[in-house]
Amino acid sequence: MTNKKEDYNGWSNRETWLASLWLDQYQSEAKTAEDIKDLFESEVEHVADMTKADNGMFSIDLMRGALENINWQEIADSKKAL
């Protein structure tokens, strides 16, 4: 059995790793898992609004699906450790 923390570049999965990288780029003040999740959900909804594709666009569905795989608490815990 593999160590969950080492599944993708030291993160539990690719989506969590990627969200953590982007959070660093945003230089966000979001610290809690809920704040971080809200930030990324807002970003996806902004893209959906811009493309007028709230429902029924493949790329939007993929982004929303990826959000479900992100371990928000893992990201928040990593920010607390800094």
Are 16 and 69 in contact, with CB atoms under 8 Å apart? yes
Predicted pLDDT of residue 1: 39
pLDDT at 17 over 80: yes
For Cα atoms 39, 43, 44, give the angle at the middle one, nearest 5 degrees: 120
Predicted pLDDT of residue 70: 97
Are 37 and 70 in contact, with CB atoms under 8 Å apart? yes
Query: Could you read off the pLDDT of 34-65 as tens digits, one per residue?
Result: 999 999 999 998 988 888 765 568 888 899 99
If one counts the domains in the chain, the total is: 1
What is the three-class DSSP state of 11?
strand
pTM of the predicted model over 0.85 = no
Predicted pLDDT of residue 5: 52
Going by C-alpha positions, the residue among 13, 3, 15, 12 that lies closest to residue 62 is: 15
Q: Which tokens go with 11? A: 């993160």
Domain that holds residue 40: 4-80
What integer best gives the mean pLDDT of the chain? Answer: 86
